[in-house]
Structure 1
Amino acid sequence: MHRSPSAEAEVADELAVVRPGLVARFTAGLPGARAAVLSRLWRAFAHEPLPWIAGRGSGREELVLRLRDGRRLAGPAADPYRTDAYVGVVRLDGAAYDDAARLVTDLAVPRSAGFAAELGHSVASLALSRAGQENHPDEWPDSDWAWEQRVVDGHPYHPGCRSRPGFSVAEQLAYGPEHGPVVGLGLVPVPAAECLVTGVWPRELREGAKVLLPVHPWQAAHVLKRPCDERLAAHPLMSLRTLALPGGPHVKTALSTRLTSSVRDISVASVAASAEVSEFGQALTARADGLLHVTRTLGAAAAGSPDLAAVLRESPRVYAAPGERVVPVAALAGTGLPGSPAWRAGFARLALTVGLRLLELGVALEAHGQNLLVVLSPAGDPLRLVYRDLADIRVSPARLARHGVAAPGLPARMLTDDPVALRRKLFGSLVGGALAATVGSGAALREVLEEAVRELPRTPDVVALCEEPLPVKALTLMRTSPGTAGDLWALLPNPLRWR
């Protein structure tokens, strides 16, 4: 069996120093972490338009990939919507691999060396994330951050689901939400004349003529390279760079490193546009018949650089009535609720009704499991949706105009009238992401979609959802195509036409 021990050994060695009590659990969790990452990678090999794959042939039990150099890569038949770790081994010209990093190294395709290193880090970090978990009690969490800290495995389909380059083991334990830490945010004073501020910046984050910018301690140490008194105790959410202040707002901090796929900074342009984008979000809420809330941006500030900026956003919890809970869609699998066919159908109906209504209006949400939350009744029934972080939505001025909706001040990068681009944004995130990951398989996704679409008006968008291949981001192709700007896409079998 071929395996890459380097990242795993490095984490084990550091863990033995900083948290020796976790070493045994980390080691025991490595096989499961390898299978989880290999399953995500095999999904990409099976369905993404990777240039070094010449052809694919599949039977009921096995998928065989023919590489352009003549080699053969074989593994189990790949359900593109499946989320469990179902791939234990794949074979390259007969040699067995249970480790994604070693497999990619030996494939020796373009960009394989850097990608293999990410995969090795993803396996080791995933095993570390799982090692620190305790069995959850039957009671559901009372805090917004505790829900988010239950999302341990990261992105359900990205093989780099736990890749955190630049983070030591000690830093992962100190800042990773799945480890349940309290993070001390620093406050950097910046003269108000040198700081762009939009919205309302609170008095407690001002000091005379200076604006106090919340700074993540990792950013202070590695990017700003300056000491920073840790003055705000906060709880990290699943994005890691966004943290909840107890009883207060969520704080998005600049974190200038690549987590999973993207560098997590805050552009000055996004700070400048934040108030207008937030107002637009409230206009969407008014058009959603009470089924959707969009969290407001309270204030944003930048000191002339994406490396020193912050955004204050209201907690989704403010939209819960007494007894209700607001749960990120990514955390739903851990509630047991998706095990009920009736619950799955109700949730899918709610999510598709809202998403497609806004798409018809002219707004394509990036409604993946992190941005999209659901308000649950005391009995666990899905009642309404909450959407946060409008930075990556797409907006059609032509569709908005047909419905008499203005969109002044929105960034140009958000605007497109291309129906393909709009549908990709919504269908890829909501159907191929949030819904698929919640139900966990293609068969279950087909069932909930069949029931939900019967109640939807037959718009061109609904016809496309029912009849065309389902677009999703080609996550592995994007990671191995560094010279290509923007999103790249794969077309998955349409679950409604897949038998």
Structure 2
Amino acid sequence: MIHIELPRFPASEREASQAAVPTPRASCPSYASQLLAKETTLRALLNSFLRETGCHDPRHAETGLVASLLDVGEPFCLRLSAGELIGTLRDFSLSGQHRYGAAFYLRDDQGRVTPLDMQDIIQRLLESLSAPATDNTHELRLWDMRDKINNSFTRMAAHIDDFYHHRGTAPEAALDFIAAEQSLYLGHPFHPFPKCSQGVERRAFDDFSPERGACFQLHYLAVRRDLLVEAWLDGPEDGLADAVHEVARQRLGERYDHYALLPIHPWQAGYLLSQPDIHLLLEEGLLIDLSAQGPLAYPTSSVRSVWLPAIGQGYKLPLQVRITNLIRENTLEQSRRTLDAARLIHHLRSELESDAFQVVMETGYRTLDPEHPALDSHRAAAFTVIYRPMPVEAQDACVLASLLEPYPGEAEPKLIAAIRHGAGGEVDLDRWFAAYLEVSLVPILEILARTGVSFEAHLQNSLLRLERGWPSTLYMRDLEGVSLDRERVTRLAVWPSLGIAADSPLLYSPEVAWWRTQYYFFVNHLGGVVNALATHLGVGEGRFWRQVGTCLERLSEAEDIRLAAYAEDLLQANHWPAKANLLSCLRQRGASPLFVDILNPIKRVG
């Protein structure tokens, strides 16, 4: 007989408060909102755990539990430090993006079976990944991880609830750039806390959240030029609205030419302008507060980057907020890396770009001088702005990370609705995917082979423009993530004229540049597209991975030896690299993440 223990209730008020899941400040989200957030949180945690512990297929025909205890799907059994985690898979995924049933149990070494809720599963998974330490760091790290996971769950549930309250169902209007950027409700499918935002507790943040449909005026500061550091591709162009400059002229009068203007996120302005050391800069006239003004800015899916459609300008702004696992400020090193990448791409645009593949350029950065005696050097990153104007044609493109998600409460990915709307009806998704590979896989490999430039082509950096529902142009953004094959790129004729340092963090060995391409495009990007299409059609992912294999077989016969070698490696390798977000967060390796091997899905389907 199977003995099932019900979860015990907290023995004291103190224990109850420690176990409680945080709830939003304003109101408690509905049951439906919390249920979707819970399913998404557990799915990401379980899939990350499986990927990062090398379990490529957890299905187990015999679990020892009676069928009535299990939810719909194939049973799975996963060995943890506390026993066996038992549940069901509603959908098995070759790339590891499994979907789970709602019922989970733990069977301990004595055979006792206990139903688990979300908090139990979080605790059991984290304990199984971490080794006890001799000091208190073990418990502190577990507490920190639980706090971030619950923060993400809470914020996700609140965003979903806001969608249900204000919209209810998927909009009928065609998706545009802003609508896509502001409807990424679930986030990275292999991150333990994709919607975590720590630090926002200091001041209300919901009015600045893209998931809430936010738009707002930016705050502006006038920076005296002796405090300013800036660098540009083609000379200073601050990309600000004429109305902002006019206000500055009126406020500064004869001093106008001695100052430069800096846009600041309004949340960041509220934080910085309340700090004593920044007050001193204002009193000395090194900074002048011009307040909030100018055209409306729309936050994109990254939260801190904004888009101003009235002037065609975008800014990558700093925020003193931990979004996922990193404080999102712009260090001077990151800014210089971005501009170094922009310089190279600017000189290679004719070799990199085509009608099918384009790059959203970053044109410069502006910040405060960390070496100025009046400034605490660590403050510079809190002011640094990276300028990212948007090409007119890219304003019709949508971020892929959002396209692959359904709206809350829906089953169909936004991409499918966008295809149908553009094409005026259903299309053959096998043919559509073949066309997609021609604007994504093919140019990304050709560019790496020809120039040594590797883009960080994950789903949130990739924008897709459709024409009549079919893939037309793929846009790459966020040049900070570009990596360069040192051996290839330094042989380019243009290289000596760029002034990029020999020890630039942009430069990688050929092997590292190649596996970064494998992860960011093939595992993260293509894995997401394949899973979304296969799930929508109710078919196995192998159907689309075979198409990837066919495309690579064609490229393996190319005259370009490097291109052929890349394609052949992708076909023949037993494993592809994948970022280990769960382990990296647990071990506090956010700036230098860990990677693991996953099985090559093309070889798995033969």
Shift of 1:325: 2.6
Shift of 1:141: 3.6
Q: Which residue of the other structure, out of 327, 331, 335, is the alignment partner of 2:415? A: 335
Corresponding position of 1:65: 78
Q: Is the CA contact 1:185–1:231 (under 8 Å) kept in the aligned structure 2?
A: yes
Shift of 1:245: 0.9
Count of residues paired in the alignment: 479
Corresponding position of 2:441: 352
Shift of 1:251: 1.2
Q: Is the CA contact 2:337–2:506 (under 8 Å) kept in the aligned structure 1?
A: no
Q: 1:189 to 1:153 in 2, by over 3 A?
A: same
1:162-189 deviation per Cα after TM superposition (whole angstroms, max 9, x unaligned): 1111224983421110110112321122
| TM-score normalised according to structure 1 size | 0.86
d(CA) in 1 for partners of 2:306, 2:85 = 42
- Using the TM superposition, name which of 248-257 and 79-88 deviates more: 79-88
- Using the TM superposition, name which of 221-230 and 131-140 deviates more: 221-230
Q: 1:105 to 1:82 in 2, by over 3 A?
A: closer
Q: Which residue of the other structure, out of 291, 299, 302, is the alignment partner of 1:239? A: 302
Q: 1:84 to 1:62 in 2, by over 3 A?
A: closer
Shift of 1:335: 2.7
Given residue 580 of structure 2, which amino acid in structure 1 is its aligned partner? Answer: A
Could you tell me which runs of 5 or more consecutive residues in structure 2 were left unpaired when the two chains were aligned: 1-5, 10-15, 62-73, 108-112, 131-137, 249-255, 280-288, 371-379, 405-413, 420-426, 535-540, 558-563
Corresponding position of 2:161: 131
For the pair shown, the structure with the greater C-alpha radius of gyration is: 2
d(CA) in 2 for partners of 1:490, 1:70 = 24
Given residue 522 of structure 2, which amino acid in structure 1 is its aligned partner? Answer: V
Within the alignment, does 1:160 sit opposite 2:193 as a pair?
A: yes
1:64-94 deviation per Cα after TM superposition (whole angstroms, max 9, x unaligned): 3334x46333344563636575353443333
Shift of 1:429: 1.3
Q: Is the CA contact 2:105–2:114 (under 8 Å) kept in the aligned structure 1?
A: yes
Q: Is the CA contact 1:47–1:80 (under 8 Å) kept in the aligned structure 2?
A: no
Q: 1:437 to 1:484 in 2, by over 3 A?
A: closer
Q: 1:345 to 1:98 in 2, by over 3 A?
A: farther
Shift of 1:242: 0.5
Shift of 1:9: 5.7
Given residue 39 of structure 1, which amino acid in structure 2 is its aligned partner? Answer: R
- Using the TM superposition, name which of 254-263 and 117-126 deviates more: 254-263
Alignment of 1:31-430 (within 5 A): 31-49=35-53, 58-59=59-60, 61-67=74-80, 69=81, 71-76=83-88, 79=93, 81=95, 83=97, 85-93=99-107, 94-99=113-118, 101-106=119-124, 108=127, 109=130, 110=138, 111-133=141-163, 134=167, 135-142=169-176, 144-168=177-201, 171-199=204-232, 200-202=236-238, 204=242, 207=248, 208=256, 209-223=258-272, 225=274, 229-232=291-294, 233-247=296-310, 248-288=312-352, 290=354, 291-303=356-368, 304=370, 305-315=380-390, 317-320=391-394, 325-333=396-404, 334-336=414-416, 337=419, 340-360=429-449, 361-377=451-467, 379-401=468-490, 404=493, 406=495, 408-410=498-500, 412-419=504-511, 421-430=512-521
Corresponding position of 2:33: 29
> Residue 102 of structure 2: SS of its match in structure 1?
coil
Q: Is the CA contact 2:400–2:460 (under 8 Å) kept in the aligned structure 1?
A: yes
Q: Is the CA contact 1:277–1:410 (under 8 Å) kept in the aligned structure 2?
A: no
Q: 1:284 to 1:75 in 2, by over 3 A?
A: farther
d(CA) in 2 for partners of 1:159, 1:80 = 20
Shift of 1:332: 2.4
Q: 1:275 to 1:418 in 2, by over 3 A?
A: closer
Shift of 1:36: 0.7
Given residue 140 of structure 1, which amino acid in structure 2 is its aligned partner? Answer: A
Corresponding position of 1:455: 554
Given residue 496 of structure 1, which amino acid in structure 2 is its aligned partner? Answer: I
> Residue 375 of structure 1: SS of its match in structure 2?
strand
> Residue 11 of structure 1: SS of its match in structure 2?
coil
Q: Is the CA contact 2:362–2:479 (under 8 Å) kept in the aligned structure 1?
A: no
- Residue identity (%): 21
Q: 1:145 to 1:5 in 2, by over 3 A?
A: farther
> Residue 577 of structure 2: SS of its match in structure 1?
strand
Q: Is the CA contact 2:299–2:307 (under 8 Å) kept in the aligned structure 1?
A: yes
Q: Is the CA contact 2:319–2:327 (under 8 Å) kept in the aligned structure 1?
A: yes
Q: 1:7 to 1:95 in 2, by over 3 A?
A: closer
Q: 1:457 to 1:171 in 2, by over 3 A?
A: farther
Given residue 79 of structure 2, which amino acid in structure 1 is its aligned partner? Answer: R
Given residue 88 of structure 1, which amino acid in structure 2 is its aligned partner? Answer: A
d(CA) in 2 for partners of 1:30, 1:6 = 20
d(CA) in 2 for partners of 1:155, 1:57 = 21
Shift of 1:155: 1.5
Q: Is the CA contact 1:7–1:124 (under 8 Å) kept in the aligned structure 2?
A: no
Corresponding position of 1:20: none
Shift of 1:57: 6.2
Given residue 520 of structure 2, which amino acid in structure 1 is its aligned partner? Answer: S
